[in-house]
Amino acid sequence: MSDLPTTPFGPQGPLITRIGLGGEGVLRTTGQDARARKVIHQAVSQHITYFDTAPAYEESQAYLGSVWAERPQICDTIFQTSKSPSRTYGQAMADLTNSLNTLHRDHLDLWQIHDLRTWEDIRQMEGPGGALEAFVQAREEGRVRHIGATGHHDPEVLKYAVTHWPLDSVLLPANPAETLLGGFLDGVVDEAKDREMTVIGMKCLGGGMFVQPENGIAADILIRYALSCPVDLIIVGCSTPDHVRQLVSAATKTTDALPQFRQIEAAFEPHASKLAYYRGRV
């Protein structure tokens, strides 16, 4: 039995682990099949059920698909997601077909509109021939069970999607810089929760740049910090099986870390805007 904390995906969705294997790390590479497969197998053996990927993440989908093709018996126990960066109906549908074929799946548990950044993205998505129609149709047809949107560039753009589109989830950054800056972890999250959407956290380690052991900021405390944010689960990219084990260990720790959280926020405060490198610049 796993000690990993779980959460329901939406009001009536399945239970999923509060940590997921992100599509970054070794999964966002090419030609690293053996290394990537070891990480995926380790995640499965550690009872992680949420798996993130996207067409933009190099061979991430192919790595996952190769494992699922060899182990079809576990496909009903995992929650497989992917994304589409396309803004038109036709290209989004093509992305979905490619994702399903590459992942060796007959459906996705969650299909996400990838990386909403600008008001032009919004206009294209919901305009004539826009990709939003493809997402809604794919859910109606059962090719995907849930749909969501992702964004880390502009909280107001992502909030519009949450408040105007029939989404089941939202993926946004969750880390100390975001607590300090506001926008995503309050404004967007509040609207999502009001609509019973699942909130997924990303950018928890800042692509590794937030991890500074010499200053007392280790990966495990950043993971625990992200899990303490108003999100339902987080995704973290891993480069080795040991990274997966560290992720699981951090997620299962129950000791109080509030004093460390406050120390980290104090360390981030003078540089929060710069540390949120993934946001758009005014």
Q: Full-prediction pTM beyond 0.85?
A: yes
Phi, psi angle pair for 95, to nearest 5°: -60, -40
Lowest-confidence pick of 1-5, 157-161, 183-187: 1-5
- Residue 277 is predicted with a pLDDT of 95
Phi, psi angle pair for 148, to nearest 5°: -150, 180
Q: What is the mean pLDDT of residues 241-260?
A: 94
pLDDT in tens, 66-118: 999 999 999 999 999 999 999 999 999 999 999 999 999 999 999 999 999 99
- Residue 213 is predicted with a pLDDT of 86
Amino acid, single-letter form, for residue 194: D
- Residue 88 is predicted with a pLDDT of 98
Q: Which residue ranges form the domains of the chain, and what is each CATH number?
A: 6-275 (3.20.20.100)
pLDDT above 90 covers what percent of the chain? 94
- Residue 282 is predicted with a pLDDT of 46
Burial state string for 70-94 with b = 16 or more CB within 10 A and e = fewer than 16: eeeeeeeebbbbbbbbbbbbeebbe
Q: 183 pLDDT exceeds 50? A: yes
- Residue 14 is predicted with a pLDDT of 95
Q: What is the mean pLDDT of residues 13-17?
A: 95
pLDDT above 70 covers what percent of the chain? 99
- Residue 254 is predicted with a pLDDT of 83
- Residue 216 is predicted with a pLDDT of 82
Q: 172 pLDDT exceeds 90? A: yes
User: Which of the pair, 163 or 207, is modelled with greater confidence?
Assistant: 163
Lowest-confidence pick of 33-47, 87-101, 206-220: 206-220
Q: 129 pLDDT exceeds 50? A: yes
- Residue 174 is predicted with a pLDDT of 98
Q: 1 pLDDT exceeds 70? A: no
| Alpha helix stretches (DSSP H) within 165-252 | 176-181, 189-194, 219-228, 241-252
Q: 192 pLDDT exceeds 70? A: yes
User: Which of the pair, 135 or 216, is modelled with greater confidence?
Assistant: 135
- Residue 71 is predicted with a pLDDT of 94
Q: 271 pLDDT exceeds 70? A: yes
Q: Mean pLDDT over all residues of the chain?
A: 96
Closest-CA residue to 176 (of 232, 260, 243, 238): 260
- Residue 190 is predicted with a pLDDT of 98
Q: Where are the beta strands (DSSP E) in 136-279?
A: 147-150, 169-173, 198-202, 233-238
Closest-CA residue to 96 (of 74, 114, 76): 114
Q: 275 pLDDT exceeds 50? A: yes
Report the Cα 89 to chain-centroid distance in Å. 23
Distance between CA atoms of residues 276 and 172, nearest Å:
12
Q: 274 pLDDT exceeds 60? A: yes
Lowest-confidence pick of 9-13, 150-154, 174-178, 234-238: 9-13
